[in-house]
Amino acid sequence: MTQHEIDKLNKRFGAKVRIGFRLDSCGFPVAALVCKYGSAEISLYGAQVMTYRPVGHGPVLFLSKKSEFAEGKPIRGGIPICWPWFGKSKTDSSLPSHGFARTSLWQVVSSSYSDEVVELTLGLVDTPESKAIFPYAFAAQLRITVSQSLKLQLTTRNAGIAPMSLTEAFHPYFRVMRATNIAIQDLDGAKVDDRVTGEQSIQQGEVRITGETDRIYFPKQAHAAIADASLNRTIDIVFNGTKSLVVWNPWIEKSQQMPDFGDDEYTQMVCVEPANTDLTPLTLKPGDRHTLEMTIQAKLN
Ligand code: BG6
């Protein structure tokens, strides 16, 4: 994107102090949203929230110091949008993990603001390139709202004439002081599908991170919370449009294998991801829509 296009975005969708667009140092267009309760920065490449900072708090999201910020590569951290598949593609395992939304340039659809609420809506539609790997006509929109919380709403519309199946997730990387010192709450009694051990079980009590973690939970309620004893902070996560949450921490070996992630960074993050995975895929009839929603709120204990 050129500076001229950024100027046009600012003219059409910008608002002094509240909404601004810029090219960041690696050339990605970034939107900054600011209201009296907090601020967020969103890369239009991937429609990826990179930072979220409520007033009175430190950063809520983790962004890897080794993230590559290169075209064709996902940004490591913030809130990647996994869409239209989560994990490996069911039809072709050589396709990029977690779909192409996080490596696509999204268009700005609309913006609105007041002192209390700032919103930005981004859109992605099918192209000949997308059709070659995901043979559907679609319109996806992500609405990002910064107010007393950060809310994301991802709406998928089947714009074609055949039923469309997909999987998806919000993949937030939450910043924690020490992953081994957090408790993920509200998952007590949830069914668990453990992708590391292959075992299925029922969660007893709080979830603690003590090793490589890659699990799908089916919580009884549509919320979870990350209690961070070291930061004296709890992050509430409320979701809609799915019944499952993925909890991921790569731990030591996986971190060392990821070129865009620091060897020790697994200690500073945890992903708690509202997701429609391959265990619960979606099918949309022509014209149908589905919305996945997540609200994040940080509270001091
Ligand atoms: C998680 C998956 O959501 O994302 C893990 O459950 C995966 O299996 C992780 O390793 C990171 O994926 P990626 O493609 O961003 O490295």
Cβ of residue 233 lying under 6 Å from some atom of ligand 1: no
The one catalytic residue among 171, 265, 290, 293: 171
Q: What is the mean pLDDT of the chain?
A: 97
Q: Quick check: 102 and 126 in contact, CB under 8 A?
A: no
- DSSP 3-state of 114: coil
Confidence band, pLDDT 50/70/90 cuts, at residue 25: confident
Catalytic residue among 168, 265, 273, 293: 273
With contact defined as beta carbons under 8 Å apart, do 116 and 92 qualify? Answer: no
Q: Pairing mode, if any, of strands 107-113 and 244-249?
A: unpaired
Q: How far apart are CA 46 and CA 34, in angstroms?
A: 20
Least confident of 74-78, 89-93, 100-104, 166-170: 89-93
Is omega for the bond preceding 84 within 30 degrees of 0, making it cis? yes
User: Is position 171 annotated as part of the catalytic site?
Assistant: yes
The SS3 assignment for 129 reads helix
Report pTM: 0.98
Please compute the mean of the pLDDT values over residues 236-246 and round it to a whole number. 98
- Domain positions in the chain are 3-300
At residue 120, does pLDDT exceed 80?
yes
CATH architecture designation of domain 3-300: Distorted Sandwich (2.70)
